[in-house]
Structure 1
Amino acid sequence: MATPVPNAHVVMMKELLASGNYSDFTITCGSDTYRVHKNIVCERSSFFKRAERFPRPIGEEASESKVDLSEDEPEIVRLLVQYLYENDYEADSDEKCEQRRKQKQAAIALRSKRSPGGCGFLLKFPHQCGQGCHYSSVWVCPHHRCDNCISKCNFTCSTCSPIMEGEKIDPKLLLLHPKMYAIGDKYDVAGLKELARTKFSPVCMSLWNEEGFAQVVEHVLSTTPDSDIGLRDMISKTMVSHVELLNKPAVAKALNKHTSFMFKVLRHIAEDKAGFALAHIKLS
């Protein structure tokens, strides 16, 4: 498969940011410094547009316009600046992103293969018969067939297992995307909230059972008002689909701090599971 040719405009913008050539504005965050360009960052964020107009100390040149974002996390600010220039953000380096892309393509290719009987492979490791196979009739992967392990084999194919890692989602993204959503709102960055919401959706649906999900619930409910439903709706729908989340102490603790949202979730669960609406209860 041919390697995609990077968008020429994105490449140019990345080089412009990296070089700092013609920079006329500086963003700092702790020890990090970004030499940026007003015509880019100010057009994409009303916050930076206002910051650029702040009165400067006596003796400071107009070309020394700057703003300090040290109250924010350095990693989130780095991704914010990346988005301002590339219209996208990636938590990993370009090299790691390319490695992950190739690994995902390999996983897709392996998933598309068929066994001698015409069926797909299980490709779940470690393998156990409890995953629904019928002994010798089921192929674990192109190299191995189940041989009546009776749920005790815990077999892992050293060739296929690393490839299937490409299907896994990094758990750190579960909180990263809500943080990007929050900073997009904080600095009024055009398009960033929608991008973060789009990226968060599949992560939320896939990693709802992760230990860090409760922290995500708390973060989303604490950084967004009731009227901002972008991420709240995803959290709510995930809880309706996986009611067992309510039995987790950490999730219950987070919901108890936000009773309005909790009642909305309970209402949706009643509507979805019991088939009736709590019309007699007024919920905000």
Structure 2
Amino acid sequence: MEANNELLAAFATLYESAKYSDLIVQCGDRSFPVHKAVVCSRSHFFDGACSHPWKENITGIIDLSEDDHEAVEHMIHYFYYLDYLQQPKSAPVSRRHSIQKRRPSDLVLVQEDPLLAQAQAQAISSPDSSAPASPLSPSPHYRTDYFPDTKAPPTPDLDQTFDESLLDSYESDCDDDECDAFLQPPNLVVHAKVYAIAEKYGITGLKDLARHKFSIQAEHHWATLEFADSIPEVYETTVDSDRGLRDIVIQSFREHPQLARSKDMELVVRDTPGLAWELFRMGWGLPVC
């Protein structure tokens, strides 16, 4: 695990210093100096762009200005940290908006990263019998059940303001992971955008991570305007057959039928034909996908 942490720290140093960078990702007025060895190993798109005699490979510049600028920045950050939306170390921690920075051992699906595969194999074959069999296994706190049987804590209706007493009562009952998810400011729109850009550029690990983050926050923030705002992103930025985030949205409607009484949600459903059709089928007991 120490070797893996050292490798991730090295990636972070490369990102922050831009030393030895050999490729520029352009997005509007932002330029991101990156390293082909890092980005091409994690994205089918970047691998293809740098492996053929295309304009991008000749100029050393890949222009992504047509993509969402925030999503591009999170994608670049993921290439080097295997995470995004981390809280800076120097940032003050707010009781209501605390964001726990993920340790390398807690990264979702980190074992799938090709650049870390060698480190994993070396650690497994180490003669040290005290070393764990799989140092890159996900943390035991990693949630693989996207739709648990247990209900999320009660949350105020979409058209109501946040109730301070609700936070106090919930904090006394929840475990650390659940409290972290409940206290985090909702970033469902961001997660939907990151999911879409990960699909577009063939970044499997980032797509899985964005889905995981979206699922956890949807459990705890389904009754917020952020959840309503994220639905058009979910249904309009990926193809209909991509059920990654759509299934989470539909499951939220199954678990919380009171969403149908929200005026804000009514507007979203009217403006999102894909969601309206799936809710219609769900109401008649027909398969959604």
Structure 1 distance, partners of 2:164, 2:54, is 62
Counterpart of 1:190 in structure 2: which amino acid?
T
**Post-superposition offset of 1:78:** 1.3
Residue in 1 that maps onto 2:251? 237
What amino acid maps onto 2:14 in structure 1?
L
Deviation at residue 224 of structure 1 after TM alignment: 2.0
Q: Give the whole-Å Cα distance in 1 for the aligned partners of 2:279 and 2:32.
A: 42
Provide the rounded CA distance (Å) in 2 between the counterparts of 1:102 and 1:55: 41
Match of 2:156 in 1: none
**What is the correspondence of 1:125-204 to structure 2 with a 5 Å cutoff?**
126-127=164-165, 167-171=182-186, 173-204=187-218
The one of 12, 28, 33 aligned to 1:30:
28
In the TM superposition, what is the alpha-carbon distance from 1:217 to its structure 2 partner?
Answer: 1.1
Deviations 1:164-210 (A, max 9, x none): 89951202x12111111001011111311111001111101111111
Provide the aligned C-alpha RMSD in A.
3.6
Cross-structure match for 1:13 = 11
**2: distance between equivalents of 1:166 and 1:6?**
26
Aligned to 1:93: 88
% identical equivalent positions = 30
* Separation in structure 1 between the aligned mates of residue 180 and residue 40 of structure 2, nearest angstrom: 40
Q: Give the gaps of 5 or more residues in structure 1.
A: 104-123, 132-139, 142-163, 271-276
SS at match of 2:90: helix
How far did residue 258 of structure 1 move? 4.2
TM-score (norm 1): 0.65
The answer as to whether partners of 1:240 and 1:269 remain within 8 angstroms in 2 is no
Q: Deviations over 1:208-257 (max 9, x none)?
A: 11123222111101112221111000000001111121222332233234
| Counterpart selection for 1:218 from 229, 232, 238 | 232
Q: Distance in 1 between matches of 2:211 and 2:233?
A: 14
Q: Deviations over 1:44-100 (max 9, x none)?
A: 11211232235349xxx95x5111111223322111001112221125434339773
Structure whose CA Rg is larger? 1
Q: Which amino acid aligns with 2:276?
A: M
> Structure 2 matches for 1:201-280, cutoff 5 A?
201-269=215-283, 277-278=285-286
Q: Which amino acid aligns with 1:55?
A: W
Q: Is the 8 A contact 1:217 1:251 kept in 2?
A: no
Equivalent pair of 1:28/1:68 in contact (CA under 8 Å): yes
Greater relative contact order, per chain length (Cα 8 Å cut-off, separation 6+):
2
Q: Write the distance in 1 (CA, Å) between the matches of 2:163 and 2:257.
A: 27
Does structure 2 retain, via aligned residues, the 8 Å contact 1:82–1:89?
A: yes
**SS of corresponding position for 1:230:** coil
Q: Contact 1:27/1:68 (CA < 8 Å) preserved in 2? A: yes
What is the rounded CA distance, in whole Å, between the counterparts of 2:39 and 2:100 in structure 1?
32
Cα shift at 1:102: 7.2
